[in-house]
Amino acid sequence: MLPHHPSFKKEDRIRCIIFGFLYIFNTFILCGLAVYLYSFDRFFGFDKVCILAENTSTKSVNKKKVKTGDLLVFGNQYFLAIGKTLVFPEQYLHLETIKAELIYKEFMTQPTLKLFHWMVETYYTTYKSVVRLFVTNDIQKFLEREEKLKASKKIPARSRPQNLNAGMTGRNEVIIPEE
């Protein structure tokens, strides 16, 4: 039934008009202006998706532009910037706005995020179920492990002496140290 059909009540017509306005507002006005975030810790509806507030008062967001793939934090909650558009925008008409601070630049690469969007579109699934395939929900432990790995990689590895590489021209040499 269409909104102008005689069997529609006045309240139903008003609801249809408001729903249509919200749909148009979300798809045309917010596209390109807002950055959609996926929350690792907090539930926002069925899919853990919210919007980053543009007028944030934190200095780090204003100095550094938030791009897709960045990791943000607000309090003890972590958010992944998943892009300026969503696959099924009609499902995300009522999203909460969050002010967050940028903590990790390029946490996810652009091809990975394209794969996220492709999987959601192709398999008609949610971002929540797709992100779980790539990153654990306990993002804080994940970041701690990554910091430990970075710290261990900063220790310089022992380099080989130059004279060992000079004699290797197609034959195997065994060097036995004298005691």
Domain range for residue 62? 33-153
Q: Is it the case that residue 57 has pLDDT exceeding 50?
A: no
Q: Is it the case that residue 6 has pLDDT exceeding 70?
A: no
**Structural domain contains residue 123:** yes
Instruction: Tell me: do 96 and 146 sit in the same domain.
Output: yes
Q: What is the pLDDT of residue 55?
A: 47
Q: What is the separation of C-alpha 8 from the centre of its chain, rounded to a whole number of angstroms?
A: 42
**Structural domain contains residue 40:** yes
**Structural domain contains residue 168:** no
Tokens of 148: 């430990």
Domains in the chain, number: 2
Instruction: Tell me: do 16 and 90 sit in the same domain.
Output: no
Around 147, how many Cα atoms within 13 Å sit in the side-chain half-sphere?
8
pTM for this predicted structure: 0.63
Instruction: Tell me: do 38 and 25 sit in the same domain.
Output: no
List pLDDT tens digits, range 35-52.
889 988 887 778 888 888
Instruction: Tell me: do 6 and 51 sit in the same domain.
Output: no
